[in-house]
Structure 1
Protein backbone atom coordinates (compact mmCIF):
# COMPACT_ATOMS: atom_id res chain seq x y z
CA UNK A 1 0.00 0.00 0.00
CA UNK A 2 1.22 3.46 -0.80
CA UNK A 3 1.66 5.79 2.13
CA UNK A 4 -0.02 8.94 0.93
CA UNK A 5 -1.60 7.85 -2.30
CA UNK A 6 -2.20 11.23 -3.93
CA UNK A 7 0.72 12.38 -6.03
CA UNK A 8 3.00 9.48 -5.18
CA UNK A 9 4.88 7.92 -8.10
CA UNK A 10 4.74 4.19 -8.64
CA UNK A 11 6.73 2.14 -11.13
CA UNK A 12 5.41 -0.86 -13.06
CA UNK A 13 8.10 -2.58 -15.14
CA UNK A 14 10.02 0.70 -15.27
CA UNK A 15 7.02 2.80 -16.32
CA UNK A 16 6.07 5.52 -13.85
CA UNK A 17 2.44 6.20 -12.86
CA UNK A 18 1.26 8.98 -10.56
CA UNK A 19 -1.22 7.84 -7.91
CA UNK A 20 -4.32 10.06 -7.68
CA UNK A 21 -6.37 8.23 -5.05
CA UNK A 22 -7.29 4.91 -3.51
CA UNK A 23 -10.27 3.37 -5.28
CA UNK A 24 -10.74 0.43 -2.94
CA UNK A 25 -9.34 -2.56 -1.13
CA UNK A 26 -10.28 -6.11 -1.99
CA UNK A 27 -9.37 -9.57 -0.79
CA UNK A 28 -6.22 -9.56 -2.89
CA UNK A 29 -5.04 -6.00 -3.24
CA UNK A 30 -5.42 -2.25 -3.18
CA UNK A 31 -6.67 -0.52 -6.35
CA UNK A 32 -5.60 3.03 -7.08
CA UNK A 33 -6.57 5.55 -9.72
CA UNK A 34 -3.29 6.38 -11.46
CA UNK A 35 -2.26 8.68 -14.30
CA UNK A 36 0.37 8.42 -17.00
CA UNK A 37 0.67 10.93 -19.86
CA UNK A 38 -2.71 12.45 -18.94
CA UNK A 39 -4.56 9.12 -19.20
CA UNK A 40 -6.17 7.38 -16.21
CA UNK A 41 -5.52 3.77 -15.26
CA UNK A 42 -6.15 1.46 -12.34
CA UNK A 43 -2.99 0.31 -10.60
CA UNK A 44 -3.53 -2.69 -8.37
CA UNK A 45 -0.98 -3.51 -5.69
CA UNK A 46 -1.31 -7.08 -4.44
CA UNK A 47 -1.37 -7.42 -0.64
CA UNK A 48 -0.84 -10.42 1.58
CA UNK A 49 -3.22 -9.53 4.38
CA UNK A 50 -5.14 -12.49 5.78
CA UNK A 51 -8.64 -13.23 4.51
CA UNK A 52 -10.65 -15.55 6.74
CA UNK A 53 -13.06 -16.72 4.04
CA UNK A 54 -10.81 -17.13 0.99
CA UNK A 55 -7.62 -19.08 0.30
CA UNK A 56 -5.03 -17.72 -2.12
CA UNK A 57 -2.13 -19.23 -3.98
CA UNK A 58 0.17 -17.03 -6.05
CA UNK A 59 -1.99 -13.89 -6.22
CA UNK A 60 -0.25 -12.08 -9.07
CA UNK A 61 -0.15 -15.17 -11.28
CA UNK A 62 -3.79 -15.87 -10.40
CA UNK A 63 -4.74 -12.37 -11.57
CA UNK A 64 -2.97 -12.93 -14.88
CA UNK A 65 -4.45 -16.40 -15.36
CA UNK A 66 -7.95 -15.24 -14.40
CA UNK A 67 -7.71 -12.32 -16.83
CA UNK A 68 -6.78 -14.70 -19.64
CA UNK A 69 -9.58 -17.10 -18.71
CA UNK A 70 -12.25 -14.37 -18.62
CA UNK A 71 -10.96 -12.82 -21.84
CA UNK A 72 -11.28 -16.19 -23.58
CA UNK A 73 -14.85 -16.53 -22.25
CA UNK A 74 -15.73 -13.05 -23.54
CA UNK A 75 -16.53 -11.18 -20.32
CA UNK A 76 -16.69 -7.38 -20.67
CA UNK A 77 -13.92 -6.05 -18.41
CA UNK A 78 -11.00 -3.61 -18.39
CA UNK A 79 -8.00 -4.54 -20.51
CA UNK A 80 -4.85 -5.54 -18.62
CA UNK A 81 -2.15 -3.08 -19.70
CA UNK A 82 0.83 -4.46 -17.78
CA UNK A 83 1.79 -6.82 -14.97
CA UNK A 84 4.91 -6.48 -12.83
CA UNK A 85 5.35 -9.90 -11.28
CA UNK A 86 8.31 -8.92 -9.05
CA UNK A 87 6.52 -5.91 -7.52
CA UNK A 88 3.11 -7.65 -7.64
CA UNK A 89 1.44 -4.79 -9.50
CA UNK A 90 -1.08 -4.75 -12.31
CA UNK A 91 -2.09 -1.84 -14.51
CA UNK A 92 -5.46 -2.02 -16.17
CA UNK A 93 -7.73 0.19 -18.17
CA UNK A 94 -9.83 2.55 -16.04
CA UNK A 95 -13.56 2.21 -16.64
CA UNK A 96 -15.21 5.40 -15.44
CA UNK A 97 -18.63 4.95 -13.90
CA UNK A 98 -20.59 4.08 -10.82
CA UNK A 99 -20.56 0.66 -9.22
CA UNK A 100 -23.66 -1.47 -8.86
CA UNK A 101 -23.12 -1.10 -5.11
CA UNK A 102 -23.43 2.70 -5.36
CA UNK A 103 -26.51 2.45 -7.56
CA UNK A 104 -28.26 0.01 -5.21
CA UNK A 105 -27.42 2.20 -2.20
CA UNK A 106 -29.03 5.22 -3.91
CA UNK A 107 -32.07 3.28 -5.21
CA UNK A 108 -30.96 3.88 -8.82
CA UNK A 109 -30.56 0.28 -9.91
CA UNK A 110 -31.75 -0.33 -13.47
CA UNK A 111 -33.23 -3.82 -14.14
CA UNK A 112 -31.21 -3.88 -17.36
CA UNK A 113 -28.04 -4.35 -15.29
CA UNK A 114 -29.47 -7.62 -13.92
CA UNK A 115 -30.16 -8.67 -17.53
CA UNK A 116 -26.56 -7.82 -18.44
CA UNK A 117 -25.03 -9.79 -15.56
CA UNK A 118 -27.26 -12.76 -16.47
CA UNK A 119 -25.94 -12.49 -20.04
CA UNK A 120 -22.43 -12.78 -18.54
CA UNK A 121 -23.61 -15.88 -16.66
CA UNK A 122 -24.74 -17.40 -19.98
CA UNK A 123 -21.09 -17.23 -21.05
CA UNK A 124 -19.59 -18.21 -17.69
CA UNK A 125 -21.66 -21.23 -16.69
CA UNK A 126 -21.01 -23.32 -19.83
CA UNK A 127 -17.30 -22.52 -19.27
CA UNK A 128 -17.70 -23.89 -15.71
CA UNK A 129 -16.70 -20.53 -14.23
CA UNK A 130 -17.96 -18.16 -11.54
CA UNK A 131 -16.85 -14.58 -10.99
CA UNK A 132 -17.14 -12.53 -7.81
CA UNK A 133 -20.67 -11.17 -8.17
CA UNK A 134 -20.35 -8.69 -5.30
CA UNK A 135 -21.71 -5.34 -6.59
CA UNK A 136 -18.51 -3.35 -5.96
CA UNK A 137 -16.92 -5.45 -8.73
CA UNK A 138 -19.22 -4.06 -11.44
CA UNK A 139 -19.16 -0.61 -13.02
CA UNK A 140 -21.72 0.87 -15.41
CA UNK A 141 -20.24 2.97 -18.21
CA UNK A 142 -22.52 4.38 -20.92
CA UNK A 143 -25.23 1.90 -19.96
CA UNK A 144 -22.91 -1.11 -20.25
CA UNK A 145 -21.95 -3.33 -17.34
CA UNK A 146 -18.26 -4.12 -16.84
CA UNK A 147 -16.77 -6.67 -14.45
CA UNK A 148 -13.81 -4.69 -13.12
CA UNK A 149 -12.19 -7.48 -11.10
CA UNK A 150 -10.38 -10.41 -12.70
CA UNK A 151 -11.13 -12.96 -9.97
CA UNK A 152 -12.81 -16.11 -11.15
CA UNK A 153 -13.16 -19.64 -9.86
CA UNK A 154 -14.38 -23.00 -11.01
CA UNK A 155 -18.16 -23.08 -11.07
CA UNK A 156 -19.96 -24.03 -7.85
CA UNK A 157 -23.73 -23.65 -7.78
CA UNK A 158 -23.79 -22.15 -4.28
CA UNK A 159 -21.59 -19.24 -5.48
CA UNK A 160 -23.33 -18.51 -8.78
CA UNK A 161 -25.25 -15.29 -9.38
CA UNK A 162 -28.69 -16.73 -8.70
CA UNK A 163 -27.74 -18.29 -5.35
CA UNK A 164 -25.27 -15.77 -3.96
CA UNK A 165 -24.65 -12.66 -6.05
CA UNK A 166 -28.27 -11.59 -6.44
CA UNK A 167 -28.46 -11.16 -2.66
CA UNK A 168 -26.38 -7.98 -3.02
CA UNK A 169 -27.92 -6.46 -6.16
CA UNK A 170 -30.89 -4.89 -4.36
CA UNK A 171 -31.64 -3.66 -0.84
CA UNK A 172 -31.89 -7.14 0.63
CA UNK A 173 -31.14 -7.84 4.30
CA UNK A 174 -27.65 -9.03 3.22
CA UNK A 175 -26.96 -5.81 1.30
CA UNK A 176 -28.28 -3.60 4.10
CA UNK A 177 -26.19 -5.40 6.71
CA UNK A 178 -23.03 -4.99 4.60
CA UNK A 179 -23.88 -1.34 3.91
CA UNK A 180 -24.40 -0.62 7.61
CA UNK A 181 -21.05 -2.21 8.52
CA UNK A 182 -19.13 -0.32 5.80
CA UNK A 183 -20.68 3.18 5.80
Structure 2
Protein backbone atom coordinates (compact mmCIF):
# COMPACT_ATOMS: atom_id res chain seq x y z
CA UNK A 1 0.00 0.00 0.00
CA UNK A 2 1.10 3.51 -0.76
CA UNK A 3 2.37 5.73 2.05
CA UNK A 4 2.02 9.52 2.14
CA UNK A 5 3.44 11.94 4.66
CA UNK A 6 1.92 15.05 6.21
CA UNK A 7 4.44 17.09 8.19
CA UNK A 8 6.69 14.04 8.40
CA UNK A 9 3.99 11.73 9.80
CA UNK A 10 3.25 8.71 7.65
CA UNK A 11 -0.25 7.59 6.59
CA UNK A 12 -1.28 4.51 4.66
CA UNK A 13 -3.44 5.31 1.63
CA UNK A 14 -6.44 2.99 1.44
CA UNK A 15 -7.92 4.40 -1.74
CA UNK A 16 -8.99 7.38 -3.81
CA UNK A 17 -12.16 9.09 -2.56
CA UNK A 18 -12.40 11.58 -5.41
CA UNK A 19 -10.79 14.23 -7.56
CA UNK A 20 -11.85 17.84 -7.42
CA UNK A 21 -10.83 21.12 -9.02
CA UNK A 22 -8.04 21.56 -6.49
CA UNK A 23 -6.78 18.12 -5.60
CA UNK A 24 -7.12 14.41 -5.06
CA UNK A 25 -8.71 13.20 -1.81
CA UNK A 26 -7.63 9.87 -0.42
CA UNK A 27 -8.89 7.75 2.44
CA UNK A 28 -5.82 7.26 4.63
CA UNK A 29 -5.13 5.79 8.04
CA UNK A 30 -2.60 5.45 10.80
CA UNK A 31 -2.68 3.61 14.10
CA UNK A 32 -5.14 6.18 15.49
CA UNK A 33 -7.83 6.08 12.82
CA UNK A 34 -8.98 7.08 9.34
CA UNK A 35 -8.61 10.47 7.68
CA UNK A 36 -9.00 12.28 4.41
CA UNK A 37 -5.63 13.21 2.96
CA UNK A 38 -5.90 15.76 0.17
CA UNK A 39 -3.05 16.20 -2.28
CA UNK A 40 -3.23 19.54 -4.10
CA UNK A 41 -2.83 19.22 -7.87
CA UNK A 42 -1.99 21.80 -10.52
CA UNK A 43 -4.06 20.44 -13.37
CA UNK A 44 -5.81 23.13 -15.42
CA UNK A 45 -9.46 23.92 -14.77
CA UNK A 46 -11.08 25.92 -17.56
CA UNK A 47 -14.00 27.21 -15.49
CA UNK A 48 -12.30 28.15 -12.22
CA UNK A 49 -9.28 30.32 -11.41
CA UNK A 50 -7.04 29.55 -8.47
CA UNK A 51 -4.28 31.40 -6.74
CA UNK A 52 -2.38 29.40 -4.15
CA UNK A 53 -4.66 26.37 -3.64
CA UNK A 54 -3.29 25.42 -0.22
CA UNK A 55 -3.72 28.98 1.08
CA UNK A 56 -7.25 29.02 -0.37
CA UNK A 57 -8.06 25.77 1.51
CA UNK A 58 -6.85 27.30 4.79
CA UNK A 59 -8.71 30.57 4.23
CA UNK A 60 -11.93 28.84 3.21
CA UNK A 61 -11.75 26.43 6.14
CA UNK A 62 -11.49 29.35 8.57
CA UNK A 63 -14.47 31.09 6.96
CA UNK A 64 -16.62 27.94 7.03
CA UNK A 65 -15.64 27.06 10.58
CA UNK A 66 -16.93 30.46 11.72
CA UNK A 67 -20.18 29.98 9.78
CA UNK A 68 -21.44 27.15 11.98
CA UNK A 69 -22.14 24.65 9.21
CA UNK A 70 -21.05 21.03 9.72
CA UNK A 71 -17.60 20.48 8.22
CA UNK A 72 -14.84 18.02 9.04
CA UNK A 73 -12.05 19.29 11.29
CA UNK A 74 -8.83 20.35 9.59
CA UNK A 75 -6.15 18.35 11.40
CA UNK A 76 -2.93 19.32 9.60
CA UNK A 77 -1.54 21.28 6.69
CA UNK A 78 1.78 20.54 4.98
CA UNK A 79 2.93 23.47 2.88
CA UNK A 80 6.01 21.72 1.45
CA UNK A 81 4.08 18.66 0.20
CA UNK A 82 0.90 20.68 -0.56
CA UNK A 83 -1.27 18.34 1.49
CA UNK A 84 -3.97 18.67 4.08
CA UNK A 85 -5.29 16.14 6.54
CA UNK A 86 -8.86 16.33 7.73
CA UNK A 87 -11.37 14.36 9.72
CA UNK A 88 -13.02 11.50 7.83
CA UNK A 89 -16.83 11.56 7.92
CA UNK A 90 -18.08 8.04 7.21
CA UNK A 91 -21.23 7.70 5.16
CA UNK A 92 -22.68 7.90 1.66
CA UNK A 93 -22.54 11.09 -0.34
CA UNK A 94 -25.76 12.89 -1.17
CA UNK A 95 -24.94 11.99 -4.79
CA UNK A 96 -25.02 8.28 -3.86
CA UNK A 97 -28.27 8.72 -1.92
CA UNK A 98 -29.96 10.35 -4.92
CA UNK A 99 -28.63 7.72 -7.32
CA UNK A 100 -29.87 4.82 -5.15
CA UNK A 101 -33.25 6.39 -4.33
CA UNK A 102 -32.38 6.82 -0.64
CA UNK A 103 -32.35 10.61 -0.50
CA UNK A 104 -34.38 11.97 2.42
CA UNK A 105 -36.21 15.29 2.63
CA UNK A 106 -34.46 16.05 5.94
CA UNK A 107 -31.18 16.45 4.05
CA UNK A 108 -32.73 19.09 1.77
CA UNK A 109 -34.03 20.82 4.91
CA UNK A 110 -30.51 20.74 6.37
CA UNK A 111 -28.92 22.24 3.25
CA UNK A 112 -31.47 25.06 3.40
CA UNK A 113 -30.50 25.62 7.05
CA UNK A 114 -26.84 25.78 5.96
CA UNK A 115 -27.80 28.40 3.38
CA UNK A 116 -29.43 30.40 6.18
CA UNK A 117 -26.07 30.45 7.97
CA UNK A 118 -23.96 31.14 4.87
CA UNK A 119 -25.91 33.79 2.95
CA UNK A 120 -25.80 36.45 5.72
CA UNK A 121 -21.99 35.97 5.69
CA UNK A 122 -21.99 36.59 1.92
CA UNK A 123 -20.84 33.01 1.21
CA UNK A 124 -21.69 30.29 -1.27
CA UNK A 125 -20.33 26.76 -1.11
CA UNK A 126 -20.11 24.17 -3.87
CA UNK A 127 -23.60 22.68 -3.65
CA UNK A 128 -22.85 19.70 -5.90
CA UNK A 129 -24.05 16.55 -4.06
CA UNK A 130 -20.67 14.76 -4.12
CA UNK A 131 -19.50 17.43 -1.62
CA UNK A 132 -21.93 16.29 1.09
CA UNK A 133 -21.87 13.16 3.23
CA UNK A 134 -24.78 11.84 5.29
CA UNK A 135 -23.76 10.46 8.67
CA UNK A 136 -26.01 9.65 11.64
CA UNK A 137 -28.92 11.61 10.15
CA UNK A 138 -26.92 14.76 9.39
CA UNK A 139 -25.27 16.09 6.28
CA UNK A 140 -21.71 17.38 6.34
CA UNK A 141 -20.10 19.66 3.77
CA UNK A 142 -16.86 17.76 3.23
CA UNK A 143 -15.22 20.23 0.86
CA UNK A 144 -13.70 23.47 2.13
CA UNK A 145 -14.36 25.53 -1.01
CA UNK A 146 -16.42 28.66 -0.52
CA UNK A 147 -16.84 31.82 -2.56
CA UNK A 148 -18.39 35.23 -2.28
CA UNK A 149 -22.15 34.97 -2.55
CA UNK A 150 -23.57 35.28 -6.06
CA UNK A 151 -27.27 34.66 -6.59
CA UNK A 152 -26.57 32.74 -9.80
CA UNK A 153 -24.58 30.11 -7.86
CA UNK A 154 -26.69 29.85 -4.69
CA UNK A 155 -28.51 26.66 -3.75
CA UNK A 156 -31.92 27.79 -4.98
CA UNK A 157 -30.66 28.75 -8.47
CA UNK A 158 -27.91 26.20 -9.08
CA UNK A 159 -27.47 23.56 -6.39
CA UNK A 160 -31.08 22.39 -6.23
CA UNK A 161 -30.79 21.21 -9.83
CA UNK A 162 -28.57 18.37 -8.57
CA UNK A 163 -30.31 17.38 -5.33
CA UNK A 164 -32.81 14.98 -6.93
CA UNK A 165 -33.04 12.98 -10.15
CA UNK A 166 -33.50 16.07 -12.30
CA UNK A 167 -32.52 16.30 -15.95
CA UNK A 168 -29.28 18.07 -14.92
CA UNK A 169 -28.45 15.35 -12.39
CA UNK A 170 -29.15 12.53 -14.85
CA UNK A 171 -27.16 14.31 -17.62
CA UNK A 172 -24.20 14.40 -15.21
CA UNK A 173 -24.66 10.71 -14.28
CA UNK A 174 -24.78 9.71 -17.94
CA UNK A 175 -21.56 11.67 -18.72
CA UNK A 176 -19.62 10.19 -15.78
Structure 1 stretches of 4+ with a deviation exceeding 3 A read: none
2:26 aligned counterpart, secondary structure? strand
1:117 corresponding residue in structure 2: 111
2:155 corresponding residue in structure 1: 161
1:147 corresponding residue in structure 2: 141
Normalising by the residue count of structure 2, what TM-score does the alignment of the two structures yield?
0.99
1:54 corresponding residue in structure 2: 48
- Work out whether 1:104 is the aligned partner of 2:85: no
How far apart, CA to CA, are the structure 1 residues paired with 2:173 and 2:79? Answer: 34
How far apart, CA to CA, are the structure 1 residues paired with 2:115 and 2:79? Answer: 30
CA-to-aligned-CA distance 1:58-117 (integer Å, 9 cap, x gap): 100000000000001111010000000111100000000000000111111101000000
Number of residue pairs aligned between Structure 1 and Structure 2: 176
- Work out whether 1:130 is the aligned partner of 2:142: no
Gaps of 5+ in 2: none
The counterpart of 1:31, out of the listed 25, 28, 32, is 25
How far apart, CA to CA, are the structure 2 residues paired with 1:113 and 1:60? Answer: 30
How far apart, CA to CA, are the structure 1 residues paired with 2:23 and 2:141? Answer: 16
1:98 aligned counterpart, secondary structure? coil
Alignment RMSD: 0.6
